[in-house]
A = this chain, B = another copy of it.
């Protein structure tokens, strides 16, 4: 099989400070589609072009941040195998029963060395993208409400043990290292970008003393013109923009970073190259990290390095 194992980031559970304000933001400004609410009060959303029932789950809490990120695997046999592989590798796993998240099958939950909670699952109900499976249109006017990304794409996470993450993700879960940023020592990694697919990154990590932090979750747009439209909609809606529109040197994507009403940073981006696992990784030296992150400004802003949730 050509695509096996871990397929893609399928859901993220986000902590938000005010569920009503957040739902308004994620639906009407970002343009996700609400697909359900559960008895715990969690609100389920998906990007219009995603077929599975949910990708962003909002949970009201006292502090912002990410509860966990879940990756969809190829099938249930893969789920069982990867659970066994994780345990064999020495990672403790926990089973979350099917249905704990709406329309989502059993999940295998574990912690990454950086302190982030990651999940694997094989089943989530296909609710379609609003178009029939026969003779579909490429999009519909309903797909243009708000910023309207096509999918939840990846996360950048901050935490201390990048070496542990890289080893676990590549040796057990089949990820590949795509790009890396070196520290001043020219050896250890300040940041790593890893892929379980043909995307230039499905996950990325930056070294940071505090574990388990979220730098940003990212949503895919279809063109640089859609990135401009997103920036315009952010200004119309008084969304706090961190930086952009600009381009990343790393992954080549064109991007905006901004903050949701709880202070969670999110990205709306477009483009970037396709990765294949026979590609040798790209390396960014410490001196060029600014250009790597923000190709036009060629320097980091302080917020990029310090503001996380």
Contacts and interface: CB of A to CB of B under 8 A. Distances in A.
Contacts of A274: 151, 198
A71 B72 CA distance: 27
Contacts of A276: 3, 7-8, 72
Interface stretch (A92-100, A128-136, A154-162): A128-136
A130 to B, nearest CB: 13
Given A135-B283, A223-B224, 8 more contacts: A1-B277, A2-B5, A3-B198, A49-B273, A51-B279, A126-B280, A136-B282, A244-B296
Nearest to A49: B273
Closest 9 CB pairs of A and B: A2-B196, A2-B174, A1-B174, A138-B252, A198-B198, A2-B5, A135-B288, A231-B296, A225-B225
A292 B135 contact: yes
Contact of A245 (B133, B236, B296): B296
B6 A296 contact: no
Interface string A255-292: 01000000000000001011011111111110010011
Which range holds the interface residue count of chain A? 35 or more
A139 interface: yes
Interface string A1-38: 11111111000000000000000000000000000000
A228 to B, nearest CB: 6
Contacts of A196: 2-3
A292 to B, nearest CB: 7
A295 B244 CA distance: 11
A295 to B, nearest CB: 5
27 contacts: A1-B4, A1-B174, A2-B4, A2-B6, A2-B7, A2-B176, A3-B174, A3-B176, A3-B196, A4-B4, A7-B278, A72-B276, A74-B278, A126-B280, A134-B282, A135-B292, A137-B232, A137-B235, A144-B144, A151-B274, A222-B271, A223-B224, A224-B224, A228-B254, A232-B295, A235-B295, A244-B296
A247 interface: yes
A241 interface: yes
Given A174-B2, A245-B245, A246-B245, A133 B280 contact: yes
A59 to B, nearest CB: 26
A114 interface: no
A140 interface: yes
B197 A3 contact: yes
A219 interface: no
Interface string A116-148: 000000000010000001111111110010000
Contacts of A140: 236
Nearest to A296: B231
Contact of A3 (B2, B134, B232, B236): B2
Residue of A151, A195, A231 with most partner-chain B CB within 10 A: A231
A249 interface: yes
Residue of A134, A232, A256 with most partner-chain B CB within 10 A: A232
